[in-house]
A and B are shown apart, each in its own frame.
Chain A
């Protein structure tokens, strides 16, 4: 099916089950909805905004559904905070068909066509990564190699996040392994739907101090 056909299919879904908020965020999307994880794409945009992601890596571009949201998050953060950033989309397959339209829209996109475990810090201009979306080859050993490679490139001190897809699917064994692995310090949460996904926050170097103004909580009475 062509992209236009897929959009028409989505259109019929919106007519059968109206969801104006969802439909509103699709208006500029050059691709179409990934119905395996339809809500995860837009959610990644908001995670990107919340964590202030300027440098984002997506492993596994596929048809670019989530790529649009992640790249938009980088661009909008850059506009808001006057900083430059980059979305890096890694795939073993050439996904230019889906990523070039994003570049044409003015989104900051770098397409890395290669095996994820061959990437180096140079590929990211030696910038630390704020957010990684891991959704490539789901073999446990492969995912473990990816984490071993990218963990040092991810910001620490509670400022870097990894979102892993399929943690109640093909990546269940992988996810269960890394949250128990003493080499990694994460706080994490999982979600059951759409084969499951997890949000992990890198806590290495996190200062467990009190952040609220002067130590102890200051509000007790109006």
Chain B
């Protein structure tokens, strides 16, 4: 076993070496999926197993793939501030909170992850704390959330998966949308858009400025990007219209030279 002595390491990672990359020691003490101890023997999936092994709970059979997906989504947008409404067993919670932490570690700076639930989920907070992953638990009705709860700062990601009544979903958006990063930099995730939240989804799209994509599986999920204050006239690639990929002009565009 080799001990990580990296300057920013906040815990001692245990691993063995395997053809270049380290194999992280399995640290999840839980069964693989509740009621399904040998899930990976039946359905081998090294990637899923690798991520579950670093988690602190069993896999969720409802959001099996969405939980890990959120880790990468948070990493890819550089999220360091996120909230989840509806913690349940903590599958997506730990992934999102870990992503915020890992982003903060990589870039330097603070991170904050808030979990809102009516029920006591402190056992998840404690398990995460054992891995130095910080979760601030807001044990209250989401409609009682106040900006003071998160120091009035904006979120990069909000995952909405609490009570799925349409009115409730809309009211949660009323409270939290102003605190979602705008200009195309904040993402709102709705679970169950092909089930309980199917009615709410078009109302959300009608009322707010989002671009979005949905997925069918596991009751459906929608990823929505906050386009409020987004400037579509900005051309980001170097100096306006696309520059040819090659330096000496582009035959398909008439061989025009560009700076």
Contacts and interface: CB of A to CB of B under 8 A. Distances in A.
Contacts of A196: 236
B213 A15 contact: no
A219 B105 contact: no
A164 B137 CA distance: 37
A25 B47 contact: yes
Interface in B62-82: 65-66, 68-69, 71-73, 75-78
Interface stretch (B83-91, B122-130, B215-223): B215-223
B45 A76 contact: yes
A30 B229 CA distance: 43
Interface string A12-31: 00111111111111111110
A40 interface: yes
Contact of A21 (B95, B225, B253): B95
Interface stretch (A56-64, A83-91, A108-116, A167-175): A167-175
A52 B27 CA distance: 29
A128 interface: no
Interface of B: 4-11, 13, 15, 18-24, 27, 43-48, 50-51, 53-54, 65-66, 68-69, 71-73, 75-78, 95, 98-99, 102, 105-106, 164-166, 184-185, 194-196, 198-200, 211-218, 220-221, 223-225, 235-237, 241-245, 250, 252-253
A188 B213 contact: yes
Contacts of A43: 69, 72-73, 76
Contacts, number: 199
Contacts of A188: 211, 213
Contact of B24 (A20, A42, A76, A187): A20
Interface string A65-86: 0000100100010011000000
